[in-house]
Structure 1
Amino acid sequence: MSYGSGVASAVLTAWWAQLAAVVAMTVGAAWLMDLSLRAFTGTLRRPRRRRRPVRPARVAARRPARRPVPVAVPERRSVQAIAADLRRLRRELALVSIGSAAHRAGVLAAYDDVLVEAARSLEVAHRLPETCPGEEREVERLRLAAALADTGLVISDRQDRG
């Protein structure tokens, strides 16, 4: 089957139109996919109209001056939160006894920090930050935990108390 000379010339001259149509369809499909994905993921936003800048004199006349309301920030955490942290860290220390030395040292340092925080909030005398690591620090840690328990702070879990 052979084509006439008119058909071949029509195909050759229309190739640029076909290419333009394919490019336009590809760009349109990509735009529609982007639009639909943004709509389904919730990132599609309508363009906002820009508001005219308002002169400061108009703003002051329109609404009264506002002062920020000071938020009361507590100086320290509640005793209940400190006691919960002490119980959590004590349980973790019991579980980490055979774990890595670095992890145990980190948990022990966190436990010491929370012990010191509890002693400051309950006004219990302590020397934990000044003691050197070792047996002396362990004794001071136990003494401070006992002193905190004497003030009424519950450090141990129910299973530990018997």
Structure 2
Amino acid sequence: MTGDRPVLLGLLLYLLLAATPTVLFWVVSRVVPAVLDRVAERRHRNRGEPTGPTLECVVANLRRLRREVCARSQPTHVRRVAVLAAYDDTLVQTCGLVDVDAPLASAAGPDRAFARLLTEAALEDAGIALDPPEDGTAAA
């Protein structure tokens, strides 16, 4: 053997030097984005800004979808089912924003129609008018 180090130690040192850049790159590529996401989330949380859509936007979507559901003017069954599903999701989202119990959230199958009525009534009781007057004047 030439030199004062054993061959095995030299081989281990070579592997360490060869693998270090790859391991460092992998760790940085995993850790840095996670740290940046946490910092951005913490900054956003400290600002006190709402994280989702405003109540006004959700109620506007709810009223628009309600008009579509009540009009029954969808040309296909798939469109009718999609509009009704969007209406149900928006009802549950609105209930979450105004802290009202939403029976529709846990209903399934044939119970959904009745749960939808209960949820609409709960929102009306909470002060959200689902069918506001169109021009502000009451019909005689």
TM-score by length of 2: 0.58
Distance 1:76 1:144 in 2: 21
Instruction: Give the number of the structure whose residues are more often helix, by fraction.
Output: 2
In structure 2, what is the equivalent of residue 16 of structure 1?
none
Work out whether 1:79 is the aligned partner of 2:55: yes
Q: Are 2:131 and 1:156 equivalent residues in the alignment?
A: yes
Does 2:132 match 1:132? no
Give the unaligned 5+ runs of structure 2: 1-39
CA distance in 1, matches of 2:108, 2:73: 21
Cα displacement (A) at 1:148: 0.4
Shift of 1:131: 1.2
Flag the structure with larger Rg. Answer: 1
Query: How many residues align structurally?
Result: 94
Deviation for aligned residue 1:158 = 1.5
What displacement does 1:90 show? 0.6
Aligned to 1:94: 70
Aligned counterparts, 1:22-101, within 5 A = 70=43, 72=47, 73-97=49-73, 99-101=75-77
Q: Percent identity?
A: 33
- The 8 Å contact of residues 103 and 116 in structure 2, kept in 1 or not, is answered as no
Matching residue within 131, 135, 145 for 2:120? 145
In structure 2, what residue type is equivalent to 1:140?
Answer: A
CA RMSD, Structure 1 to Structure 2 (Å): 2.5
Give the partner amino acid of 2:108. Answer: C
Residue ranges of structure 1 left out of the alignment (5+ in a row): 1-67
What is the identity, as a one-letter code, of the residue corresponding to 2:127? G
